[in-house]
Chains A and B, each alone.
Chain A
């Protein structure tokens, strides 16, 4: 799987949008971009994923650049409960070994009141 690089940490004010960047310059054509988050002492939670088009769901939006070398996860109205470590992961499509996720260190988002 391609590696990703994320800042170590960032913070934002409650109610404002949180924009979390991720670089994946070596991504290949059949690799998806996934985002998970992990709130302290809990298991990771799936947020969103995409291949090349921008995606939106009830939790967040995912913006992928046209060259697919970077992406941004957007939490439109951050709340205190969004404080967590956010992982950007690039994953091959497929079965078995190709289904596994490789977690990096992620970015710690702190939402302040």
Chain B
């Protein structure tokens, strides 16, 4: 069966510090991978998605970047955090290829920028 991992679970970082959040998927190959953010009291916003190694699409301009160095690894980064980067960050995957494949979400990372 497939599982998705995210770490860390919670993170408190000062403004201006760097960020690296990691997501890995097990039990599947060539998945589509996604990063979402949920600000307090808001809905989920898609940040990045990837259909393959090294292929990243950005949905909104922002202070963040994403990378996919391996097939089942997706990393969200920032060089300098802003207060507005606080939120609940969720990684998700679904099967690659054409079709109506549902997305499965990880447990999330709660980031507080102080």
**Residues of chain A whose beta carbon lies under 8 Å from any beta carbon of chain B:** 32, 34, 41-46, 49, 51, 87, 91, 93-97, 99-106
C-alpha spacing A94/B44, complex, angstroms: 21
The count of residues in chain B whose C-beta lies closer than 8 Å to any C-beta of chain A is 29
Residues on the A chain within 8 Å of B36, using CB: 103
**Residues of chain B whose beta carbon lies under 8 Å from any beta carbon of chain A:** 32, 34, 36, 43-46, 49, 51, 57, 59, 88, 90, 92, 94, 96-108, 110
Q: A91-B100, A99-B94 are in contact. Are A43 and B108 (CB under 8 A)?
A: yes
Residues on the A chain within 8 Å of B96, using CB: 95
Dominant SS at the A interface? loop
Given A43-B108, A44-B90, A99-B49, 11 extra CB contacts under 8 A = A42-B108, A43-B106, A46-B103, A91-B100, A95-B96, A100-B34, A101-B103, A103-B44, A103-B45, A105-B43, A106-B43
Residue of B nearest to A98 (CB): B98
Residues on the B chain within 8 Å of A49, using CB: 100, 102
Instruction: Say yes or no: B43 contacts A104, CB within 8 Å.
Output: yes
Interface centre among B36, B96, B100, B106 (most CB of A within 10 A): B100
C-alpha spacing A49/B103, complex, angstroms: 11
Q: A96-B51, A99-B32, A100-B46 are in contact. Are A43 and B97 (CB under 8 A)?
A: no
Min CB distance A52 to B, Å, is 12
Instruction: Say yes or no: B105 contacts A44, CB within 8 Å.
Output: yes
Residues on the B chain within 8 Å of A42, using CB: 107-108
